[in-house]
Amino acid sequence: MILFCLNLVNTLKGRLCRSLFAGFVISTAALAADAATSSSVHSRALSNGLEIFVKVDRRAPVAVSMLLYRAGSIDETNGTTGVAHVLEHMMFQGTHRVPGGEFSTKIAEAGGRSNAFTSEDYTGYHQQLHNSSLELSFELEADRMVNLDLTEASFAKELRVVMEERRQRVDDNPRALVYERLHSTMFMAHPYRTPVVGWMNDLENMRLSDARDWYDTWYAPNNAVLVVSGDVQPEQVFALAEKYFGPIPAKPLPMRKPQAEPEQNDIKRVIVKAPARMPTVAMAYHAPALRDIENDWEPYALSLLAGVLDGHPAARLERAMVSESRVAHSVSSHYDGIRRGPGAFYVNVTPAQGKSVDDVERVWREQLALLIAGGVSEDELQRVKAQVIASQVYSQDSVFSQASQIGRMRSLGLPHDAALTMTGKLREVTPDQVRAVARKYLIDDRLTIAILDPQPMAQVGEAGLTMTDQAGSGSK
């Protein structure tokens, strides 16, 4: 999953919203929940369709409030890619009742932290506050669900900010470019082919009316989930939610079409030329996503397969490719299958000095063949499961992640306590099932390979630039 945020949280706080969801979706903390989690979750639905979940944690006098809309880049259409994320930014530009930057000022003056994120599947807004300020969060969040004041001036300015964000996160980041191209190559029909932040040309041509249409279409209580975690009283939270969100009417929502990806029938390759020193190989296999948490088994097996390959520094790939054959400087794998659209299984390798992308691709194939021929051992699997189980407990340490876990599951249409069920299901996976999904899904007909082809600096930039060492060209 790729997330874009309203702001890069500064280094003092160390709360990079990027890192909370990114990466190893099933195999680490994002999955986790324990028995205590689900039992202490209180839920309610308002008559306008807004779902509310409350998770009590009394360790500190804080509250996290998170509102997620089931609208992300998956719901965008050609020509307006990035609009979900642009609207997320516009949500901080003022309403008819709380104009300009007053939203941020009010939250900050209450000692609150506020941010937002947009992913492929949903858009989230969150505040972390002293528990005495929860009402302020609801008041402001409910206000901007309906009263957003979209003006040409703030839109033009914020678009420029978003274009800077794209430059910062993607255009000047070779590895992000590789993943952008990987997705746009592996998907030809499904909207996962477009980047969450949007194509630059779409941003350049976006109009205020595009943002307004998006807001009018998707921002409604019946398309949202509200989650609160922390030292709060559930009944009070429900009463506050009724007071502020209750009067907002529901809207009819457009039909969401599956836009299923046609079956791929051969390997796809794409080369990305960008300034870098080391090449990298990013591979993605089409794989199923989790739909029926009780009866599906393949997504759980794929998740453990990722752990067997790369769950710890002595796991198969790291050991074989980095420690022993030393064909790679680094390797990683993960399965992304808890999402609204199709799933994918990723393997990323950076070749060691003197090794080529062909070398690492060959060794990866050897490792895969070895796994399919010999299977995985009960010991290997047990280590991965132990990590999953411990991660359940660790994930409860963060008040924020408790809220985001619940919100994420519901936004994807899964039960709020799906994480708990999933943990149980992960424990049941057998070595044979892991081997079976590797054999079935990690095949060339499902594979897309994106290769970062490193370019020397002088040839990628603007004409006339010469790059030298940092020490060489400085001037006072």
Partner 1 sequence: MIVAGLVCAYTSTAQAGPEIESWQAASGARVLYAASRTLPMLDVAVDFPGGSSRDAPEKIGLASLTLRMMRKGTSSLDENRISEELAGIGARLSQRFDLDRSGYALRSLSDKTVRDNALEILQGVLATPSFPADVLEREKSRTIAFIEERSIRPGVIAAQTFNKLLYGDHPYGATRTGTPETVAALNRDDLVSFHRQHYVAQDAVVTIVGDVSKQEAQRIAEDVTRRLPRASEPLAPLPPVPAMTESAEVVIPHAASQAHIYIGMPGVRRGDPDYFPLWIAGQILGGGGMTSMLNEELREKRGLTYSAYSYFSPYLLPGPFTITLQTRKDQAWEALSVARTTLEDFIAEGPTEQQLQAAKRYVIGGFALNIDSNAELIGYLAMVGFYQLPLDYLDRFPEQISKVTLGEVQDALRRRLAPAKTATVVVGPTERP
CA atoms within 13 A on the CB side of 191: 26
In the complex, what is the shortest distance from the CB of residue 402 to partner 1, in angstroms, rounded to a whole number?
10
Question: Mask 49-68, x = binds partner 1 (CB under 8 A)?
Answer: --------x-xxxx------
By CB under 8 A, is residue 12 in contact with partner 1? yes
Restricting to residues 140-169, name those near partner 1 by CB under 8 A: 156-165, 167-168
Rule CB under 8 A: which of 178-217 touch partner 1? none
CB of 127 to partner 1, least distance (A): 10
**Closest separation in Å from C-beta 153 to partner 1:** 10
| DSSP state string for 199-242 | -HHHHHT--HHHHHHHHHHH-SGGGEEEEEEES--HHHHHHHHH
Q: Which is nearer to partner 1, 62 or 418 (CB)?
A: 62
CA 451, CA 185: separation in Å to the nearest integer?
A: 12
Contacting residues for 374 by C-beta, under 8 A, at least 6 apart = none
Residue 452, CA atoms < 13 Å, CB-side half-sphere: 23
Q: Considering beta carbons, is residue 113 or 439 the nearer one to partner 1?
A: 113
Instruction: State yes or no: residue 26 binds partner 1 (CB under 8 A).
Output: no
Q: How far is the CB of 414 from partner 1 (least distance, A)?
A: 24
CB 275 to partner 1: min, Å: 6
In the complex with partner 1, the residue whose CB is nearer, 251 or 329, is 329
Q: Is 462 labeled as catalytic in the residue annotation?
A: no
Nearer to partner 1, 105 or 147 (CB): 105
Under rule CB under 8 A, how many of the chain's residues touch partner 1? 90
Half-sphere CA count of 451, side-chain side, radius 13 A: 15
Burial profile 386-404: b = 16 or more Cβ within 10 angstroms, e = fewer: eebeebbeebbebbbbbbb
Ranges within 343-382 binding partner 1 (CB under 8 A): 352-353, 382
Query: Rounded distance, CA 437 to CA 432, Å?
Result: 9
The CA–CA distances, whole Å, from 286 to 88, 265, 290 equal: 29, 11, 13
Segment 266-305, which members bind partner 1 (CB under 8 A)?
275-278
Backbone angles phi, psi at 186, to 5 degrees: -70, -30
390 touches partner 1 (CB under 8 A): yes
Site pattern 315..344 for partner 1 (x: CB under 8 A)? x---x--xx--x--xx--------------
- 313 contributes a contact to partner 1 by CB under 8 A: yes
The CA distances from residue 74 to 3, 6, 195, 454, in Å, are 13, 19, 10, 31
Given the residues 88, 165, 298, 380, the one annotated as active site: 88
Among residue numbers 88 through 147, which ones bind partner 1 (CB under 8 A)? 92, 101, 104-105, 107-114, 128-130, 132-133
Residue 470 in contact with partner 1, rule: CB under 8 A: yes
Q: Is 424 in the site for partner 1 (CB under 8 A)?
A: no
Q: b or e along 349-363 (b: 16 or more beta carbons within 10 Å of the residue's beta carbon)?
A: bbbbeebebebbbeb
CA dist 404 → 55, 243, 279, 286 (Å):
11, 23, 35, 26
The answer to whether 245 and 226 are in contact (CB under 8 A) is yes
The residue within the footprint of partner 1, chosen from 311, 337, 342, 407 (CB under 8 A), is 311
Q: Quick one: DSSP state of residue 74?
A: G
| Between 155 and 244, CB nearer to partner 1 | 155
Which pair of structure tokens corresponds to residue 136?
A: 């302020």
Q: Closest Cα to residue 127, out of 246, 230, 58?
A: 230
Q: Nearest approach, Cβ of 368 to partner 1 (angstroms)?
A: 21
The reply to whether 467 sits near partner 1 by the rule CB under 8 A is yes
Give the active site residues. Answer: 88
